[in-house]
């Protein structure tokens, strides 16, 4: 994967296939500590221990359409290659939480990339799921919640183009502000 935001998209889709209706994505850029942390948490059905043990093995998958499962293995190797790590907390029936940490200035760390594209793809492709996005750069925060956006626009569906455009604007401007603020 060329961007970390693609890993986020991929892992978040896992949570949705596990029946989640709330997915929370956190990006924490702590440059003073030279650390980038990504958390993807869902309230899906969670994983039993035997699956959890095997989940980062690329030759293990629960799917039936192919015999390899690469999503989490790729994220783990991306984190490890940047002097970081990935851990998974999962409770059956409660959901799963993936925490990936990277050394911020590691030469092999892929850029975060088009996070707005990731979020709009997730939100539009899964209109029945609520998303919470939380981004922190050196202690300053920005967050978006699809429930609030739906309420604000008075529409119950994100597939309504007006809602989508509002969401896009919020994400785009919010992140721009967050990034420009610290300079």
Tell whether residue 183 is a contact of another protein (CB under 8 A). Answer: no
Q: What mask of x and - would describe binding to another protein in positions 101 to 140, judged by CB under 8 A? A: -------------x--xx-xxx-xxx--------------
Handedness of CA 98, 127, 2, 52 (dihedral sign): positive
Pick the stretch among 33-41, 83-91, 99-107, 157-165 that binds another protein (CB under 8 A).
157-165
Give the nearer residue to another protein in terms of CB position, either 120 or 136.
120
**Cα–Cα dist 56/33, whole Å:** 27
Give the nearer residue to another protein in terms of CB position, either 30 or 124.
124
Tell whether residue 44 is a contact of another protein (CB under 8 A). Answer: no
Give the nearer residue to another protein in terms of CB position, either 57 or 141.
57
The pair of three-digit structure tokens given for residue 180, joined into one six-digit string? 């420009």
Spell out a b/e string for 73-103, using b for 16 or more CB atoms within 10 Å of the CB, else e: bbbbebbeebebebebebeeeebbbbbbbbb
Three-class SS of residue 58?
Answer: coil
Residues that bind another protein (CB under 8 A): 1, 6, 9-10, 13, 17, 63, 65-66, 69-71, 74, 114, 117-118, 120-122, 124-126, 159, 161, 164-165
């Amino acid at each position: 994967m060329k961007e970390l935001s693609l890993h986020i998209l991929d892992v978040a889709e896992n949570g949705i296939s596990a029946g989640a209706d709330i997915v929370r994505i956190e990006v924490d850029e702590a440059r003073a500590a030279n650390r980038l942390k990504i958390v993807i948490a869902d309230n899906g059905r969670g994983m039993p221990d035997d699956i959890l043990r095997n989940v980062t093995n690329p030759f293990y998958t629960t799917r039936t359409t192919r015999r390899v499962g690469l999503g989490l293995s790729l994220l783990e190797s991306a984190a490890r290659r940047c002097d970081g790590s990935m851990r998974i907390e999962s409770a059956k029936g409660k959901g799963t939480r993936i925490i990936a940490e990277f050394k911020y200035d590691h030469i092999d760390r892929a850029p975060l990339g088009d996070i707005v594209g990731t979020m709009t793809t997730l939100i539009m492709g899964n209109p029945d799921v609520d998303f919470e996005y939380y981004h922190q750069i050196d202690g300053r925060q920005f967050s978006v919640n699809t429930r609030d956006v739906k309420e604000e626009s008075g529409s119950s569906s994100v597939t309504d183009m007006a809602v989508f455009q509002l969401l896009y604007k919020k994400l785009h401007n919010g992140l721009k502000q967050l990034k420009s603020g610290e300079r």
